[in-house]
Amino acid sequence: MAFPPDATLADAGEFGLISALTDLFAQGPHVLIGPGDDAAVLRVKTGHVVVSTDLMVEGRHFRRDWASASDVGHRAAAQNLSDINAMGGRATSLTIGLAAPADLPVAWALEFAQGFADECALVGASVVGGDLTRSDQLVIAVTVLGACTQAPVVRSGAEPGDVVAIFGRQGWAAGGLAVLGRGFRSPRVLVEAYRRPEPPYDAGAVAAEAGATAMIDISDGLLADAGHIAEDSGVSMDIFRSAFDVAEPLQAVGSALGADPLQFILGGGDDHALLATFPAGSVPEGWHVIGEVAEAADDGPRVTVDGAAYDGPTGWTHF
Q: Which residues are annotated as a binding site for ATP?
A: 130-131, 155, 219
Among 95, 126, 213, 277, binds a second copy (CB under 8 A): 95
- What is the rounded CA–CA span in Å between residue 217 and residue 146? 15
Among 21, 76, 77, 84, binds a second copy (CB under 8 A): 84
Task: Single out the segment in contact with a second copy by CB under 8 A; choices: 113-121, 127-135, 164-172, 294-302.
Answer: 127-135
Contact 142, 97 (CB under 8 A): yes
> For residue 315, which of 266, 250, 280 has the smallest C-alpha distance?
266
Residue 234 contacts a second copy per CB under 8 A: no
Residue 206 contacts a second copy per CB under 8 A: no
Looking at beta carbons only, is 215 or 303 nearer to a second copy? 215
Among 23, 63, 135, 185, binds a second copy (CB under 8 A): 135
- Binding-site annotation, residues for Mg(2+): 38, 52-54, 83, 131, 217, 220
Contact 140, 80 (CB under 8 A): no
Among 28, 124, 152, 211, binds a second copy (CB under 8 A): 152
- What is the rounded CA–CA span in Å between residue 56 and residue 138? 8
Looking at beta carbons only, is 12 or 262 nearer to a second copy? 12
Helix H, strand E, coil C: the string for 227-272 is HHHHHHHCEEEEECHHHCCCCHHHHHHHHHHCCCCHHHHHHCCCCC
Q: Please tell me the count of residues contacting a second copy according to CB under 8 A.
A: 71
- What is the rounded CA–CA span in Å between residue 78 and residue 204? 14
Task: Single out the segment in contact with a second copy by CB under 8 A; choices: 116-124, 141-149, 262-270, 291-299.
Answer: 141-149
What is the closest distance, in whole angstroms, from the C-beta atom of residue 55 to a second copy in the complex? 4
Query: Sign of the C-alpha dihedral, residues 143, 112, 120, 278?
Result: negative
- What is the rounded CA–CA span in Å between residue 113 and residue 129? 12
What is the closest distance, in whole angstroms, from the C-beta atom of residue 10 to a second copy in the complex? 5
